[in-house]
Structure 1
Amino acid sequence: MKIGANNLYAEMQALATQARKDVAADQLPISPKVENPTPSTFGNMLNQAIDNVNDLQHHAKAQTIKFEMGDQNVSLADVMIAKGKSSIAFEATVHVRNKVVEAYDKIMQMPV
């Protein structure tokens, strides 16, 4: 998975700054509409991460099939490494999903 913590942190900081500006603008009689310059950056990053995990799982499956069929170019170590990479990537994705759900629950419990 290629999720940069610095990029994610910078995006969160930008959103927090924008939210502060929107709160201050709500006190004006007419609030200007501010659009997010990068509306789907997080979504694109999440899709790329999931696609990467999917690719790693397909590669591990292909390596396993090649090894089982007796391909001399694929060793048991190659198969185990591919399976390990796909397992770690999947576990990291599950942890990220759990953190997002946890954050969503906390936000939904906040008083308005």
Structure 2
Amino acid sequence: MDVKLSPVSSPLRTSSTTATRPMTNAQGTGTGFATAFRDALQNVSAQQNESTRLQEQVQLENPNVSLEETMVSIQKAQIGFQSTLHVRNRLVQAYTDIMNMQV
């Protein structure tokens, strides 16, 4: 197996253009935290929906769906949900800390 890696520029090397340039995706449109967070929530939701679908197929004894595949999907959905919950808790804590700061 041949693995070809593309050269990566050093993250320590910065210029004034990279410091002021907003993050962009492949289409050149700006992305922000809200967009990234929304996409992450949609991915977690899709994983949970897929897990539910596989569970239903196993219960209906569909021979094309294995129990192992279903269990892995359930675990992925659970880990994604727990990660999302931790991020939400951190955001709420950060908001609370900022609101309690004295100016």
Equivalent residue, structure 2, for 1:73: 64
Structure 2, gaps ≥5 residues long: 1-18, 24-29
Q: How does 1:40-59 map to 2 (within 5 A)?
A: 41-59=32-50
Q: Percent identity?
A: 33
Determine if the alignment matches structure 1 residue 63 to structure 2 residue 50. Answer: no
Greater share of helix:
1
Say if 2:103 is the partner of 1:100. Answer: no
Q: Alpha-carbon deviations, 1:8-46, whole Å to 9, x = none?
A: xxxxxxxxx99xxxxxxxxxxxxxxxxxx6786110011
| TM-score, normalization by structure 2 | 0.70
- Aligned mates of 1:101, 1:92 — CA distance in 2: 14
Q: Secondary structure at the match of 1:77?
A: helix
Between the two proteins, the alignment pairs up a number of residues equal to 79
Please report the RMSD computed on the Cα atoms of aligned residues, expressed in angstroms.
2.1
5+ long unaligned stretches in structure 1: 1-16, 19-36
- Write the letter of the residue equivalent to 1:81: V
TM-score when scaled to structure 1?
Answer: 0.64
